[in-house]
A and B are shown apart, each in its own frame.
Chain A
Amino acid sequence: MSETLMRTVLGLDPDKLVACVSCGLCLPHCPTYRATEEESASPRGRIALMRAVEAGELAIDEDFVRFMERCVMCRGCETACPSAVQFGALMEQTRVTLGSQRRIGSRWMRLALKPLGHHRLLLVGSSALGVLQRLRMIPMSVQPRLGLPARIPIRRAPLGPLSDRPTDAWLYTGCVMDAWQRDVHNAALRVMAATGANVNVPDGQGACCGALHVHMGMGGDARRLAVRTMAAFPGDAPIVVDSAGCGAQLKDYGHLLGTEAARVFSARVRDVGEWLAPRMNTLRISKRFGSVVAIQDPCHLRHVQRAHLPWRIVLSAVADTAELDDDGRCCGAGGSYSITQPELAGSIRDTKVEAIRRTGAPIVASANPGCSMWLSGAGLDVRHPIQIVDEVLHGP
């Protein structure tokens, strides 16, 4: 945005806002529009409302905030939009403004995000939560609302195998994912090692990417976490990520911080599927996975990183795969969305579960921990695709 322009109510870039031609081609790709069939929950509608506010036609009120909060930020509308409208950027800026006015993100949600940057504290806290869960001290009724997995690990296997030679690639381990899904990291490390690469993980300082903070309109926290994360990955080796949400955020640091160093950092980031696809020929694959695998593309992989295709190459080498027929529409997990908008998120998930069931595949592969947890909650057998590769290579 030009510096000379006056700051508008929401601070949106007028060129981005004007780009929408209101054709509506994005509507069927928007999970919240599908769930509500109302214009207020559509990308075109949200842009129209931003315009009304920016033009001074209407003042921000509860309705406006509600309509903005109902967006999952899946960015399915971006890949559907022939006019290349940057919806994600518009919505992020809107949330930053609403967040700075304390209009979105309840106080306890903001507090809840604070520990994500303190990795050891998070691991201890998470284990404690696991203990409470086993002792049935967290009421079942509130668990889905809190976004907790069915069984929070109390003890975690150490991360490995790690290399002691110079690093060919880093594995990014993240915050909540390391606490709850360390087995995915270890599967990734085993498969990466099987390609002959020397892989390492950063110390605890690289812990949280700040994606959830951006979703909640907490821009300052997100930038602080970004600077810290970048410092944890010295050198120029690729940074491999097995969480699509974190990967999208890391790839966005260049834009978030606007520095050359951040752009260079972002250019090093690869989803593990992207990293692995060109290296598949280095693996010795002697059998195939026992059942058909339905591929569920996380939005952060398909619509944000636009890096969902490499998983086809990887998975089809080890298993029979099935595609969903919903054009990659969101499953409703969306970071903290399933917690903040439980009703809509549930109805979006129901639609996704139907699409998965139509494939007839007993196992679903999803390359994002948030989506896996959310879909597992609906009773599906969800694996990270790297776990499927790992199982074929190394057994269950």
Chain B
Amino acid sequence: MSPSSPELLAELRAALAPIRVLDSPFEKVLYARDASAVGYAPPGVVCLPLTTAEVQACVRIAAAHGRPVTPRGSGTGLAGGAVPLNDPVVIVTTKMNRLVEVDEDSRTAWVEPGLLNLDLSRQVAHLGLHYAPDPSSQQTCSIGGNVASNSGGPHCLLHGCTSAHVLAIEVVLADGSVCVLGGPEPDAPGYDLRGAFVGSEGTMGIATKILVRLMPNPPTIRTLLADFASIRDASAAVSAIIGAGILPAALEMMDANCIAAVENFAHAGLPLDAAAVLLVEVEGLAAGTEIAASEIVAQCRASGARAVRVAATVEERMLLWKARKSAFGAIANIKPNYYLHDCVVPRTKLVEVMEKVVDIVESRGLIVLNVFHAGDGNLHPLIVFDRREPGVEEKVQQAGKAIIEACVAAGGVLSGEHGIGLEKRDYMALVFSAVDLEHQQRLRDVFDPARRMNPEKVLPTGSWCGELHHVPEGAWI
């Protein structure tokens, strides 16, 4: 970390308020990383703006001092996207968290980027509405971070990821100007720049206001938990359910290691002796959900389920989801560090890839937890380890690379939802040709010709590779 120039600090403090521009050594440590273990870099200065105008001011001042900018929401990212590289001015959106206005008729709302995903749903609950994309981190992650990462969640199987729920975005660009991408009408003429921005991970600008789509709460919901003696059977059930023409709202799988870790926290009554469980949810009108639910029970039984439980109460349902959504957080019950992967494989290759993953990890003496969106083949193998064991980090790295290669070899793609960030940037060349990558860079340059927004992220540059996993001793990242 290098000290910021007194002029830069003075200008930022004059533009915001002195207490919202942080540069003390302890403050910098706090914004040095996100929820992943892929990078750690205490920034020179951290700004906490309240308004779009203040964001503009920060960006302009940074530009005048030749400094890049790294946007940050709640810091739950799992790809190192908010790690401040190249000594940027960090712009944190947590204080811009208002629900600005709700249009009940068109079921849309303008929100500020720092509004937490679950808070949004709670604040519109009295209107019978909710915001559909539900990442497992939804209680903490921000809508701005969701937009930047095009986040998904269990219920995106039916409703689509963030991109399908964002109509317009007000963006502060790298030169400090403001523009609005997209608009309230679903099919705006011209290029879909909104679509390009969603998932840009802070490299095209800072979202300062977002027009989201709200969904009516479904009249009925049925949640089922099916218990299997093998992952193979559980995977067969996934194919059978989808093959039967049912489109569940969510279809999630957890393996035995994962069940053990989350049950310890959530006490949801998960079967501790199961090799895998499927958590399936259907929603809609009462008659339809009943039929779908009984069809799911039948398909699970036919695929070898040992038991299928239907949540009897809202509390029971909430508890099952609490268990599922705490999976990443719960791993310290086994080991303190984790390396999470996020790749999508064709559903038909699910079993094959899963078995390979387990083999790759276990042959290196490591432990893997599998929890994933089975419905769309989005795998999240989590390798858990204790960084303090000698030599373990190297093994984790090797296993990680082997997993990614196995997924790509099976016709998969890199990221389902967590983004590329820093973590997978240097793997981009595995799936894109040089020409593809160049075009992506050109698109990014249209938004940010000076390449000042969130440098070193998403697109490979080669410059950071050597340092990718360099971590200060004892920093426990």
Asked if B27 and A54 sit within 8 Å, CB to CB, the answer is: no
Q: Is A121 part of the contact surface with B, judged by Cβ < 8 Å?
A: no
User: Complex Cα distance A48/B475, Å?
Assistant: 8
Asked if B477 and A20 sit within 8 Å, CB to CB, the answer is: no
* Known pairs A23-B35, A28-B118; A82 contacts B476 (CB<8 A): no
Asked if B30 and A28 sit within 8 Å, CB to CB, the answer is: no
Q: Is B308 part of the contact surface with A, judged by Cβ < 8 Å?
A: no
Asked if B29 and A24 sit within 8 Å, CB to CB, the answer is: no
Q: Is B338 part of the contact surface with A, judged by Cβ < 8 Å?
A: yes
Q: Is B243 part of the contact surface with A, judged by Cβ < 8 Å?
A: no
B119 contact set on A, CB distance < 8 A: 28
Interface window among A60-68, A197-205, A367-375, A381-389: A60-68
Task: State which of B33, B48, B265 has its C-beta within 8 Å of the C-beta of A82.
Answer: B265
Asked if A67 and B26 sit within 8 Å, CB to CB, the answer is: yes
| B residues 8-38 touching A (CB-CB < 8 Å) | 24-27, 29-31, 33-35
Q: Is A128 part of the contact surface with B, judged by Cβ < 8 Å?
A: no
User: Complex Cα distance A269/B95, Å?
Assistant: 42
Task: State which of B26, B116, B141 has its C-beta within 8 Å of the C-beta of A61.
Answer: B26
Report A1-37 CB contacts with B as 1/0, cut-off 8 Å. 0000000000000000111111111011100000001
User: Complex Cα distance A203/B114, Å?
Assistant: 54
Q: Is A264 part of the contact surface with B, judged by Cβ < 8 Å?
A: no
A38 contact set on B, CB distance < 8 A: 48, 94
Q: Is B137 part of the contact surface with A, judged by Cβ < 8 Å?
A: yes
Asked if B474 and A54 sit within 8 Å, CB to CB, the answer is: yes
* Known pairs A48-B29, A83-B331; A22 contacts B140 (CB<8 A): no
Q: Is A57 part of the contact surface with B, judged by Cβ < 8 Å?
A: yes
User: Complex Cα distance A82/B327, Å?
Assistant: 8
User: Complex Cα distance A23/B261, Å?
Assistant: 15
A89 to chain B minimum Cβ distance, whole angstroms, is 15
User: Complex Cα distance A361/B48, Å?
Assistant: 37
* Known pairs A37-B114, A48-B30, A82-B265; A21 contacts B25 (CB<8 A): no
Asked if B48 and A37 sit within 8 Å, CB to CB, the answer is: yes
Q: Is B200 part of the contact surface with A, judged by Cβ < 8 Å?
A: no
* Known pairs A37-B94, A55-B475, A84-B264; A24 contacts B74 (CB<8 A): yes
Q: Is B97 part of the contact surface with A, judged by Cβ < 8 Å?
A: yes
Task: State which of B27, B29, B140, B264 has its C-beta within 8 Å of the C-beta of A25.
Answer: B140
Residue ID in chain A nearest B474 by CB atoms: A55
A83 contact set on B, CB distance < 8 A: 265, 329-333
Asked if B74 and A21 sit within 8 Å, CB to CB, the answer is: no
Task: State which of A21, A39, A81 has its C-beta within 8 Å of the C-beta of B35.
Answer: A21
Asked if B74 and A58 sit within 8 Å, CB to CB, the answer is: no
* Known pairs A24-B75, A82-B265; A39 contacts B388 (CB<8 A): no
Asked if A45 and B30 sit within 8 Å, CB to CB, the answer is: yes
| A residues 310-349 touching B (CB-CB < 8 Å) | 325
Q: Is B76 part of the contact surface with A, judged by Cβ < 8 Å?
A: yes
A278 contact set on B, CB distance < 8 A: none
Asked if B30 and A81 sit within 8 Å, CB to CB, the answer is: no
What's the tally of chain B residues with a CB closer than 8 Å to chain A?
A: 50
Q: Is A52 part of the contact surface with B, judged by Cβ < 8 Å?
A: yes
Residue ID in chain B nearest A45 by CB atoms: B30
A29 contact set on B, CB distance < 8 A: 139
Q: Is A40 part of the contact surface with B, judged by Cβ < 8 Å?
A: yes
| B residues 421-477 touching A (CB-CB < 8 Å) | 472-477
Task: State which of A25, A28, A58, A85 has its C-beta within 8 Å of the C-beta of B26.
Answer: A58
B396 to chain A minimum Cβ distance, whole angstroms, is 14
Asked if A57 and B474 sit within 8 Å, CB to CB, the answer is: yes
Q: Is B122 part of the contact surface with A, judged by Cβ < 8 Å?
A: yes
A117 to chain B minimum Cβ distance, whole angstroms, is 36
Asked if A25 and B474 sit within 8 Å, CB to CB, the answer is: no
B337 contact set on A, CB distance < 8 A: 21
| B residues 101-122 touching A (CB-CB < 8 Å) | 114, 116, 118-119, 122
Task: State which of A28, A39, A40, A45 has its C-beta within 8 Å of the C-beta of B139.
Answer: A28
A48 contact set on B, CB distance < 8 A: 29-30
Residue ID in chain A nearest B262 by CB atoms: A82
A207 to chain B minimum Cβ distance, whole angstroms, is 37
Asked if B137 and A25 sit within 8 Å, CB to CB, the answer is: yes
Chain A binding surface, main DSSP class: loop
User: Complex Cα distance A83/B24, Å?
Assistant: 30
A58 contact set on B, CB distance < 8 A: 25-26, 29
User: Complex Cα distance A63/B29, Å?
Assistant: 12
B364 to chain A minimum Cβ distance, whole angstroms, is 21
Asked if B76 and A40 sit within 8 Å, CB to CB, the answer is: no
User: Complex Cα distance A371/B161, Å?
Assistant: 42
Asked if A63 and B24 sit within 8 Å, CB to CB, the answer is: yes
User: Complex Cα distance A48/B474, Å?
Assistant: 11
Task: State which of B26, B33, B34, B386 has its C-beta within 8 Å of the C-beta of A49.
Answer: B26
Q: Is A196 part of the contact surface with B, judged by Cβ < 8 Å?
A: no
* Known pairs A23-B76, A24-B74, A51-B475; A81 contacts B29 (CB<8 A): no
Asked if B140 and A24 sit within 8 Å, CB to CB, the answer is: yes
User: Complex Cα distance A49/B243, Å?
Assistant: 51
Residue ID in chain A nearest B116 by CB atoms: A28
Asked if A85 and B332 sit within 8 Å, CB to CB, the answer is: yes
Q: Is B269 part of the contact surface with A, judged by Cβ < 8 Å?
A: no
User: Complex Cα distance A380/B337, Å?
Assistant: 45
Task: State which of B30, B48, B137, B332 has its C-beta within 8 Å of the C-beta of A19.
Answer: B332
B386 contact set on A, CB distance < 8 A: 18
Residue ID in chain B nearest A81 by CB atoms: B329
Q: Is B3 part of the contact surface with A, judged by Cβ < 8 Å?
A: no
B437 to chain A minimum Cβ distance, whole angstroms, is 31
A40 contact set on B, CB distance < 8 A: 26-27, 30
Q: Is A56 part of the contact surface with B, judged by Cβ < 8 Å?
A: yes
B146 to chain A minimum Cβ distance, whole angstroms, is 14
A125 to chain B minimum Cβ distance, whole angstroms, is 39
A296 to chain B minimum Cβ distance, whole angstroms, is 18
Asked if B26 and A23 sit within 8 Å, CB to CB, the answer is: no
A232 to chain B minimum Cβ distance, whole angstroms, is 36
User: Complex Cα distance A28/B114, Å?
Assistant: 12
B94 contact set on A, CB distance < 8 A: 37-38
Asked if B118 and A49 sit within 8 Å, CB to CB, the answer is: no
Asked if A82 and B27 sit within 8 Å, CB to CB, the answer is: no
A17 to chain B minimum Cβ distance, whole angstroms, is 7
User: Complex Cα distance A28/B264, Å?
Assistant: 21
| B residues 232-251 touching A (CB-CB < 8 Å) | none
A34 to chain B minimum Cβ distance, whole angstroms, is 10
* Known pairs A37-B94, A83-B333; A18 contacts B472 (CB<8 A): no
Residue ID in chain A nearest B338 by CB atoms: A21
A55 contact set on B, CB distance < 8 A: 472-476
Q: Is B321 part of the contact surface with A, judged by Cβ < 8 Å?
A: no
B82 to chain A minimum Cβ distance, whole angstroms, is 11
Asked if A23 and B114 sit within 8 Å, CB to CB, the answer is: no
A57 contact set on B, CB distance < 8 A: 29, 472, 474-475
User: Complex Cα distance A302/B25, Å?
Assistant: 35
Residues of chain A whose beta carbon lies under 8 Å from any beta carbon of chain B: 17-25, 27-29, 37-40, 45, 48-49, 51-52, 54-58, 61, 63-64, 67, 81-85, 325
Nearest 8 CB-CB pairings of A with B: A55-B474, A83-B332, A82-B329, A82-B326, A82-B330, A39-B30, A37-B94, A23-B329
Given contact pairs A23-B35, A28-B140, enumerate 6 new A-B contacts (beta carbons under 8 Å).
A18-B388, A22-B35, A37-B94, A55-B473, A81-B265, A83-B332
Residues of chain B whose beta carbon lies under 8 Å from any beta carbon of chain A: 24-27, 29-31, 33-35, 48, 74-76, 94-95, 97, 114, 116, 118-119, 122, 137, 139-141, 262, 264-266, 326-333, 336-338, 386-388, 472-477
* Selected A-B contacts with CB under 8 Å, 9 pairs: A21-B338, A22-B34, A23-B35, A28-B118, A55-B472, A61-B25, A63-B27, A81-B265, A85-B332
